[in-house]
Amino acid sequence: MNFKSTFLSLCLVFGSYIAISQCTPDASRTTPGYYTTAGEGKMPDAQIGVAYNETITIVMFSSYLTQNVDSVILKSVDNIPSGLTYTPLSNKILGGATSCILVQGTPTDPSQVGDKKIAFQVDIHGGPGGAVKLPFTENLDLKILPKSTTSIKEITSGEFAAKLFPNPFGQKTNVVVSGISSKKISFEVFNMVGESVYFNNTIVLDANNSFEFDKNELPNGIYVYKISDGTGTSLNRMMISEK
């Protein structure tokens, strides 16, 4: 292989890597702030030993403390858990512009389980030509969950039972219900703080008393799902672990 073809191959390899590592901002966000799939100012829960991939959309303000913002320079991201890395679309964001940061990896340190504040350290450049420099810190909340030491167990309560195949799962799983008295059921998913994150009360089971569940935008983590047919209820645990 000559030098020219070798150089071209390296460009393709590194170009592919950069493309994969880049994030895409959420175009629906237009108000200044830091946003993730969990909302503003917070990140989806992460878990020890479970792959994590999240894009933080940043909509930069155009003025700060009576000064017009020329640009904002990202200096560092502090308190990020071991095993996670961050890749900004650019270290420089113009005032009023939108950018993003990709956070990915697998948390590895059990001692870091608990509530964290990920600190984004930036310098705000304002005034004529960006002559005024002001340090600023933006904190995002992140909860680190402990590693699951056993396989996901079904926690059944009521007149019937339900199982997921597979569980844990990535994008989709098959929910099989037994002992059901009706083909029409409701299906609700809760996060680990008890908030309802998904609800569908129009599900009709197929001939095998099953249906397919697609996680859609739900981030990786442990959830509790509830199935009800109007006479009984089954509470079960599931884990989303998309690579």
pLDDT digits (tens, 9 = 90+) for 60-69: 988 887 778 8
Q: Which residue has the tokens 């890395």?
A: 85
d(CA 202, CA 20): 38
pTM above 0.75, yes or no: no
- pLDDT of res. 151: 45
Q: Looking at residue 56, what is its pLDDT?
A: 94
In angstroms, the first-to-last Cα distance of the chain is: 35
Domains 25-145 and 161-240 in one fold: yes
At 224 the pLDDT is 87
Q: Look up residue 109 and give its DSSP letter.
A: -
pLDDT tens-digit readout, 78-115 = 999 999 999 999 999 999 999 999 999 989 998 888 88
Q: Where exactly are the structural domains of the chain? A: 25-145, 161-240
Write out residues in the chain with pLDDT < 70, as ranges: 1-21, 129-131, 148-159, 243
Q: What is the pLDDT of residue 243?
A: 67
Return the CATH number of 161-240, one of 3.40.50.720, 2.60.40.10, 1.20.1090.10, 3.30.420.10.
2.60.40.10
Contact between 61 and 68 (Cβ < 8 Å): no
**What pLDDT shows up at residue 152?**
47
| Angstrom distances, CA of residue 113 to CA of 39, 82, 105, 147, 241 | 21, 11, 16, 9, 18
For residues 240 and 170, the answer to whether their CB atoms sit within 8 Å is yes
Residue 212: the pLDDT is: 95
Shortest CA distance to 34 belongs to which of 13, 56, 18, 55? Answer: 56
pLDDT on residue 21: 59
Question: What's the pLDDT at 159?
Answer: 56
> Does a cis peptide bond (omega within 30 degrees of 0) precede residue 146?
no
Nearest Cα to 119, choosing from 146, 147, 140, 92? 140
Residues in the chain, overall count: 243
Q: Which CATH number fits domain 25-145: 3.40.50.720, 3.40.47.10, 1.25.10.10, 2.60.40.10?
A: 2.60.40.10
Check residue 7 and give its pLDDT.
Answer: 41
